[in-house]
Structure 1
């Protein structure tokens, strides 16, 4: 069985995530303590006690989700003998989850990943004035149709495919008026549903260019090692191991489409038969089931999940 470890992105946050891990396993508690120290903030208290409105702020949600994912990995290493280099063929993450994947594979330290994600979250939030951008999910649309709708809805404004999540789910991002036009057009083009998403900024489109420049500077200052296994990168949907190529890809990811469907297809084509989602929620495992028939997927986010996983995997 060939395994890929996958890491969730924004939207998977929940108050209390990771608490059972920290209570049961000192190595998990140490991850949260390291993130708190890196950010000079008691982020762990916000993660476990809320309020959800503050946790959901981009600058908090991004390092918080990474912390939970890396806590899962550290527990798997200590309790189940996991070695990413030995036991995984690839790592991959959805948007901010790509930083979690890279930290799990040794490219970034947890401290550097937390600081980068705080910078990234702040920069993405500040790139567009509040209320000027929006995102919408098109359900029952493949990428080509979504891109055609985005093109026709733009009318001189930014409107682009932000996430190709697979299973007929594509997210558009751009100027608020253009996204409103896209939602109106979607029904006329045969899209089952078009839903305005409750997000604070229009991620993964050209409006994020100021944030991409911020990340170019931030990534230039951080030590990066080659990952112990390739990362299946969001923007290229291709495996990367060279730190310079990874740096370039992470900068492009801020404004580029998250090609999640193609990432999963590529990993399956390379022989992956099992996907292990490490972190909060079960979103990615659900997407994998729709994209990669014949593979198995499991989500690990709680102490109970890991005990069950360990019993099933020796």
Structure 2
């Protein structure tokens, strides 16, 4: 078995995330305490108790998802003997999950990851004014077709492919008028489904330029180490190990396409046949099963999931 660990992105958060693990395992509590200390507030309490609308805020959801994933990983290491360098071929994460993957691989500390994601969420929220941007999901077309629809809809505005999630799921992002035009064009072309998304900002498009510059400045102040195992970068759909290349990929990711479908296929081509989604939710597990049905995929986020994981000691 050749394993990859993958880490979820925004949208997988839910009230109660990480609570059962923290109650059962001291390793999980230590991660959450470190994140709380880094942010100077009890993010863990928000994760456990909500309210949902506050947890869903980009500035909270991003570090919370990272915290839940790394808490789960630390428990797997302690309870099941998982050793990333020995047992895992590579790591990847969807959007903010790339930061989680890099923290798991030792490229950045948990403290730096929490602070960077808090800043990233705030910068992405601030980059586009209220109501200026929008996102839409197209269900059915491949990335090339969705890109053509986006280009036609853009006109003098912005409409770009934000996420190529695979299995006929492509997300567009840009100015509201252009994204609404894209939905209308898609519906007129027989796309199975085209719907506007309830999001707070137009992520992963050129409107996020100010956020990319904010992240460049923040990342310049953080020391990056080579990862203990390769991490696949969203914008490259390829592994990166050089710290400067990682820094550049994280900056480019703010405005660039999350090439998730290509990343999964690249990992499979490199020999990965088993994907473990670490943290909250099962979104990536579902995508992997549709992108690479020949591979095994499962989610690990509860004490029961940990108990079911093979003992690698």
Q: Same fold (TM over 0.5)?
A: yes
In the other structure, the counterpart of 2:232 is 232
- The residue aligned with 1:153 is 153
> CA RMSD of the aligned region, Å?
0.9
Whether 1:79 aligns to 2:79 is yes
Write out per-residue CA displacement over residues 62-108 of structure 1, whole angstroms, 9 at most, x where no aligned residue.
00000000001100110011111111111000000000000001101
> CA separation in 2, counterparts of 1:300 and 1:310?
12
Spell out structure 1 runs of 4+ moving beyond 6 A: none
1:20 to 1:310, Cα distance in 2 relative to 1, 3 A: farther
**Which region of structure 1 is more displaced relative to structure 2, 58-67 or 186-195?**
186-195
Question: Cα deviation per residue 1:136-169 (whole Å; 9 max; x = unaligned)?
Answer: 0000010011001100111110100000000000
> 1:293 deviation in Å?
2.2
Q: Distance in 2 between the 1:157 and 1:90 partners?
A: 38
Question: Residue 163 in 1 paired to residue 155 in 2?
Answer: no
Is residue 218 of structure 1 aligned with residue 218 of structure 2? yes
Structure 1 partner of 2:115: 115
Q: How far apart in 2 are the matches of 1:20 and 1:195?
A: 35
Quote the Cα distance in structure 1 between the aligned partners of 2:262 and 2:77.
Answer: 29
Distance 1:85 1:310 in 2: 17
Which stretch shows the higher mean deviation, 258-267 or 76-85?
A: 76-85
Partner of 1:281: 281
How far, CA to CA, are the matches of 1:104 and 1:73 in structure 2?
8
TM-score between both structures, scaled by the size of structure 2:
0.99
Question: What is the CA-CA distance between 1:189 and the residue it aligns to?
Answer: 1.6
Q: What is the TM-score normalised by the length of structure 1?
A: 0.98
TM alignment of 1:236-247, pairs within 5 A: 236-247=236-247
Counterpart position of 1:307: 307
Q: How many Å separate the matches in 2 of 1:81 and 1:309?
A: 10
Encode CA deviations 1:152-204: one digit per residue, 9 max, x unaligned: 11111010000000000000000001111111111112210011111100000
The residue aligned with 1:65 is: 65
In structure 1, C-alpha distance between the alignment counterparts of 2:85 and 2:199, rounded to whole Å = 35
Matched with 2:271 is 271
Displacement of 1:130: 1.0
SS at match of 1:165: strand
Q: Which residue does 1:187 correspond to in 2?
A: 187
Say which SS state the counterpart of residue 195 (structure 2) adopts: strand
**CA–CA distance in 2 between the matches of 1:235 and 1:8?**
16
Instruction: Give the aligned partner of residue 173 of structure 1.
Output: 173
1:10 counterpart SS class:
coil
2:27 corresponds to 1:27: yes
SS in 2 for 1:123: helix
Q: Secondary structure at the match of 1:89?
A: strand
Structure 1 CA distance for aligned equivalents of residues 305 and 194 of structure 2:
34
Deviation per residue, 1:274-306 (Å, 9 max, x gap): 000001000001000000121000100111111
1:230-252 superposed Cα distances (whole Å, 9 cap, x missing partner): 11110010110000000000000
